[in-house]
Structure 1
Amino acid sequence: MTHVKCLVWDLDNTLWNGTLLEDDRVELVDGVLDTVRALDERGILQSVASKNDADLALRRLTELGVADYFVLPKIGWGPKSDSVREIAEELRFAPEAVAFVDDQPQERAEVEFGLPAVRCYPAEQAVSLAELPEFTPTTVTTDSRRRRRMYQAGFRRDAERAAFRGPDQEFLRSLELEMTIGKATGQELGRVEELTVRTTQMNTTGVFYAEDTLRGMIANPAHEVLTVTITDRFGPYGAVGVVVLDRHPDAWHVKLLATSCRVVSLGAGALVLNWLVNEAERAGVHLLADFRPTERNRIMEVTYRFAGFEDDPCACAGPLPAQDDGVLRLHLTPAPRELSPVIRLTAADLSEPARTSVAS
């Protein structure tokens, strides 16, 4: 079952009682605020598709203290199917991950006709939607709970980028970017598992790591599970990358490197690799990396090759099991690297696992 990632609300007689154009002091339906808050806590985004006066509706949402819960509201007089479609496209969600709630059967029918994959619900169900399985994610992570705020920060960031006049490097400097690479904790494993499932383009092998598997790995000093997070002056991007690493006497074996597509333009994958190269050089070991080519992850192979990883065989791979069919095992002899000039990096010290340090 596909879980709902975004719920789109009608306003009149759905989110609030009455019709705004007849009564500008309309009040929220009893219990609706509890539903809005519950879905927000689970990381389900919420928006609005309403036939209404946009200025009046946005002002009343603000007066009721709920405007901030709704991203990309579409308020006007066009077909609601168009509004729902625009919301899905701007959020980059497939229609089957979007739901719509409205009191009018004809409005629900119009959305169902235009967007058959969108799930539609009558207003009478609004206060009980949080009880339905499709609105109940398997896990709720720290990033889930702040997903709306991360999207809102992203919209502000994108708007400023579009208005910026000057070299892209200067815009990146203006963001005051900070990356943290740390050893995964038990509380983060749900998000790490999610990254291994959802990240397909910026994923070196496509291997799925279940939370129980990851939990066993972080308890074993022969393995490292590393999480990558980024923040800037607009707010957090959240967890944007994961590295799964096996330690061997002469080599570190990168079994998985995955980063979110949202941070490709920041050069996040290259920075993680350059940091890892420096850590391996300090530890006196070579680096090995598995790569499974797919139709979608070509950019990750380019990232590895640009970082200096090659197909050359090396004796350091002696203790490793043979790679699976279709998997390339790349090799690199580390030498010191310069890190990003625009991202401040704070990272775990892998060359001496007993302590942590700050890199810059």
Structure 2
Amino acid sequence: MFPPTTGNNVVLLEGAKNAHQAWYELVEQANYHLHLLFYIWCDDKVGRTLRDQLIVKAQQGVSVRVLYDAVGSFDLPNDFFEALIHAGGKVAKFLPVTLLRAPLLNFRNHRKLLIADGHAAYTGGINVGDEYLAWQDIGITLSGAGVNQLQEVFVEDWFYCTGEELTDADYFCRYDLHHTVSDTATCSVIASGPDQHFNATREMVFLTITQARSRLWIATPYFIPDEALLLALRTAVYRGVDVRILVPRDSDSRLCQRASRAYYTELLEAGVLINEYRGMLHAKATLIDNQGVLIGSANLDSRSFKLNFELSAVLSSESLCRQLQAWYEGLLASSDRVFRSDLDRVGYGDRMVISLAHLLSPLL
């Protein structure tokens, strides 16, 4: 976890369409270098549009580097980036899997990141693909000292995959905080992965739950907490914190959805409010009190806490918090609240499926 930086400007991107537009603008404005890291890159309209824009920038002399996960983008054609490479761009896969490296199916780079000239960046939960246009998701663009922290994450991942050292000071920016005229958001970047003895993302999630004093609103597509996080959520309610959990009703992973429902009973009995959004919710965000925000790529499950390389940003900004609150409340209006009585009406067959999914939850 990086130390907090001040003087950052943060823009909330509600929905994949706004995120895609932000990507295109960041790429268009770049004059020196573009660094992109995504878990999933699809061979579809969005994927080809972003690739073709990168080809144009590479032809203009901009240094372009693309890193994508070999498993997340497993169906991407081998020649997809051929024209970009021919134009001078550099492309790498994160941990390609072979028969001799099958265990690496688990250690995936789930991060989403786009950096332009070291001055501005995107991060969040949205991958490169058309599918996300139909889902509820969010991301942020960031300018300010926090971009240097995101750049460090990319530099380390790129070096691991390619051996190329990006140590030139031109990849990083100096920010005169005394003359920052934009929103003074505080930002601290969290990069975590299975290489850490104590997972930084899980530690931060636990800290936000235990430190919340008035509000803790969580949105996550996959909700499979461990015992410590369950205890922290329950005791937050006992302290008088307004604890809410928003998950999708129409999940793209039925197994994860059923595993999530195994935790409903004890949380509802403790006073946690649970809502299921009528659609697919892919956003990973948490509101903490009146100015704290946690946004990134990490889900609230064992895979994000133990097996994946994740990237999140802890932000302190009252204006950002208000925007995220409005977004969250808008989703609640299209959600169904879960009550204890709903669980009593679940049939025996569904209960068995939920129990089985719960047994598998450490692997999900």
Same fold (TM over 0.5): no
Larger radius of gyration: 1
> TM-score scaled to structure 2, two decimals?
0.31
> TM-score scaled to structure 1, two decimals?
0.31
